[in-house]
């Protein structure tokens, strides 16, 4: 099947979002060099609101790893982590990030002139809701920096989030307050936490609305764009400026819908759902590949991971516990299947692509029969791409291209 060159339409708000991300890293860099603010490391779906409310600047190493991936540097760094005992089969976010640190380098230096290293940590806070790798990852840095490590151990394989789940997680969150007060050198204030939770909730609402615009035909947004547009929802939830940014983005997406304008100048013959991690080093290549075949990859589970509907400032600890346990990644196979079915319907998709990321089983949902079960129930064809989030040695571009072309041909014939 012939792939055509199509020109993507760029969103104006993307530049504002890029500036926000640059400011985020520069602020951390300044604080790390001067010691002017305490810095907390936090996992991407960790309890950021508590950290914000206590005045910490918050650094999310996963976004650093994603930058390593997009800059195609992971393969240079991973061997250094392997050499100290981290298997090539475990999370390539972890191995590429630790490898970069061991080599004394970071892609931040190229992306943001003046920054030479990642920020240090006064405390590291993880939540195992996404995986156990984050605990090992943060534990390594905790020893390296001599900084305390605090964590939340979350239940796994949850079908329905019950009060028993919520109360046990809420108790773990509350138990963090005392050690955090000592590190922050200030008292915890419940009103500040309520404020951070309220802002985080508003961010979640706006981000969800932005993603939902992709249900329009043609879609004004692709999954590939959303992977970078979601940066502020990850690193800035709980902060006011993020609300302004997503307000602007939503406006721009709605304007596109009003004009009937899709993401490229080409036709949108097929609408694809992406299940799994992005292949960070191939975002542009994959965007062109699908776009050139008249297929728009418009929605994903991954980008929806920063929607926290349960957050409620009236009950900050309990609602955080609920929101961070309701995530797709923590849920049972049956829940996940139902979730994806609803998304396929909502976004009017006629195909689904599963990315089987070699080093992230937690975000690879095609290993226990999900594609076959969903296809038999919905009739929507599925394709599995073998690859990885960061380690590009694990992906065959030729194979991916051939498989995607054959898949789109199959959709054309349907
Ligand atoms: S969820 Fe996957 S990619 Fe993210 S930290 Fe865990 S293993 Fe790594």
Mutating to test ligand 1, I would choose from 91, 280, 355 the residue with most ligand atoms within 8 A of its C-beta, which is 91
**Mean pLDDT over each residue of the chain, to the nearest integer:** 96
Peptide bond preceding 275: is omega within 30 degrees of 0, i.e. cis? no
Domain 14-187 has CATH 3.40.50.720: no
* Mean pLDDT, range 324-351, rounded to an integer: 97
Tens of pLDDT, residue by residue over 225-245, are 999 999 999 999 999 999 999
Work out the percent of the chain whose per-residue pLDDT is above 90: 95
Q: What is the CATH number that goes with domain 193-413? A: 3.40.50.11900
Tens of pLDDT, residue by residue over 88-99, are 999 999 999 999
Q: State yes or no: pLDDT of 55 exceeds 90.
A: yes
Whether pTM > 0.85 for this model: the answer is yes
In angstroms, the CA 182 to CA 147 distance is: 12
In angstroms, the CA 242 to CA 89 distance is: 35
Which residue lies with its CA nearest to atom 5 of ligand 1?
A: 134
CA 322 to centroid of ligand 1, rounded, Å: 21
> Measuring from each residue's beta carbon to the nearest atom of ligand 1, which residues come in under 6 Å?
91, 93, 130-131, 133-134, 360, 362-363, 389
Share of the chain residues as helix, strand and coil, in percent rounded to the nearest 5: 55, 10, 35
In angstroms, the CA 277 to CA 90 distance is: 15
Token pair for residue 31? 């604080």
Q: Where are the domains of the chain?
A: 14-187, 193-413
Q: 173-199 b/e with 16+ CB inside 10 Å = b?
A: beebbeebeebbeeebeeebbbbbbbb
Residue 231 has a pLDDT of 98
CA 266 to centroid of ligand 1, rounded, Å: 35
Distance of CA 381 to the CA centre of its chain: 25
CA 363 to centroid of ligand 1, rounded, Å: 7
Taking the CA of residue 277 as reference, the ligand 1 atom at the shortest distance is: 3
Mutating to test ligand 1, I would choose from 88, 360, 367 the residue with most ligand atoms within 8 A of its C-beta, which is 360
CA 62 to centroid of ligand 1, rounded, Å: 8
Which residue lies with its CA nearest to atom 2 of ligand 1?
A: 360
Question: Of 282, 305, 338, 302, nearest to 223 (Cα)?
Answer: 302
CA 332 to centroid of ligand 1, rounded, Å: 17
Question: Of 132, 16, 111, nearest to 64 (Cα)?
Answer: 111
Q: Do domains 14-187 and 193-413 have the same CATH topology?
A: yes
Question: In which element (H, E) is residue 7 found?
Answer: none
Query: Are the beta carbons of 306 and 238 closer than 8 angstroms?
Result: no
Residue 1 has a pLDDT of 63
In angstroms, the CA 203 to CA 209 distance is: 10
Tens of pLDDT, residue by residue over 358-391, are 999 999 999 999 999 999 999 999 999 999 999 9
CA distances to 49, 169, 214 from 42, rounded to whole Å, are: 10, 16, 30
Inter-axis angle of helices 61-70 and 74-83, nearest 10: 130
């Amino acid at each position: 099947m012939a792939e055509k060159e199509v020109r993507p339409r760029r969103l104006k708000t993307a530049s504002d979002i890029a500036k926000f991300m640059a400011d985020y890293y520069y602020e951390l860099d300044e604080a790390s060099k001067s010691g002017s603010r305490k810095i907390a490391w936090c996992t991407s779906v960790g309890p950021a609101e508590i950290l914000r409310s206590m005045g910490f600047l918050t650094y999310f190493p996963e976004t650093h790893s994603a930058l390593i991936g997009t800059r195609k540097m992971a393969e240079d760094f991973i061997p250094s982590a392997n050499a100290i005992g981290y298997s090539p089969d475990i999370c390539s976010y972890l191995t590429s990030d630790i490898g970069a640190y061991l080599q004394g380098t970071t892609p931040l230096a190229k992306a943001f002139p003046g920054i030479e290293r990642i920020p240090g940590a006064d405390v590291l806070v993880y939540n195992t809701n996404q995986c156990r790798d984050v605990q090992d990852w943060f534990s390594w840095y905790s020893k390296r920096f001599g900084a305390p490590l605090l964590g939340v151990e979350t239940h796994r394989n949850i079908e329905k989030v019950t009060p028993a789940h919520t109360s046990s997680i809420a108790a773990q969150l509350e138990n963090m307050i005392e050690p955090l007060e000592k590190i922050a050198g200030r008292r915890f204030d419940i009103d500040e936490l309520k404020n951070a939770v309220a802002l985080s909730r508003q961010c979640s609402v706006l981000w969800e609305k932005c993603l939902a615009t992709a249900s329009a035909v043609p879609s004004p947004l692709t999954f590939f764009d959303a992977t970078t547009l979601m940066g502020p929802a990850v690193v800035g939830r709980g902060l006011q400026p993020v609300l302004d940014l997503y307000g602007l983005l939503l406006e721009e997406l709605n304007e596109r819908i009003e004009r009937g304008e899709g993401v490229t100048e080409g036709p949108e013959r097929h609408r694809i759902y992406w299940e799994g991690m992005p292949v960070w080093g191939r975002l542009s290549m994959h965007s062109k590949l699908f776009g050139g075949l008249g297929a728009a990859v418009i929605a994903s589970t991954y980008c929806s991971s920063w929607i926290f509907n349960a957050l409620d400032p009236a009950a900050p600890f309990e609602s955080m516990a609920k929101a961070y346990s309701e995530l797709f990644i923590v849920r049972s196979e049956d829940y996940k299947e139902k979730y994806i079915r609803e998304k396929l319907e909502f976004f009017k998709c006629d195909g689904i692509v599963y990315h089987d990321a070699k080093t992230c089983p937690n975000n690879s949902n095609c290993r226990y029969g999900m594609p076959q079960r969903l296809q038999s129930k919905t009739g929507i064809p599925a394709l599995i791409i073998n690859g990885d989030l960061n380690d590009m040695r694990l992906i065959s571009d030729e194979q991916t291209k051939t498989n995607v072309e054959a898949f789109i041909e199959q959709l054309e014939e349907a």
